[in-house]
Amino acid sequence: MKADQKQIVRLLKTARGQLDGILKMVEDDRYCVDISNQIMATDAILRKANKEILRAHMKCCVKDALQTGQEDKKIDELIDMIDKMK
């Protein structure tokens, strides 16, 4: 993985902590809107981590593939990832 590992680990640990908090909120029968807001915040962190990983992938792996004539496989991978994001 070419992304900044420390940043990705920090984001994922933050998301994990938020998930633990959300579980506690559900167990404590907290207000639905508060739970939903926390779920959306966690989703935003996971999306940010994914965006950084994909950005690094494009800057390194895809760039290398373009320079070595291996671009079709990498482009297909990116198209598959974009399809999954819908």
Length of the chain: 86
Dihedral class, residue 69 (left if φ above 0, else alpha if ψ from -120 to 50, else beta):
left
Q: Region 29-55: what's the mean pLDDT? A: 96
pLDDT of residue 71: 86
pLDDT confidence band for 38 (50 / 70 / 90):
very high
Domain of 49 in residue numbering reads as 5-84
> Which residue is listed with tokens 């070419």?
2
Q: List the alpha helices (DSSP H) in 1-86.
A: 5-27, 32-57, 63-68, 71-84
Q: Output the average pLDDT for the chain.
A: 93
pLDDT of residue 2: 84
Percent of the chain scored above 70 by pLDDT?
Answer: 99
The CATH number assigned to the domain holding 73 equals 1.20.58.1000
pLDDT of residue 3: 87
Number of domains present in the structure of the chain: 1
pTM for the full predicted model: 0.84
- Tokens representing residue 78 in the block: 């990116």
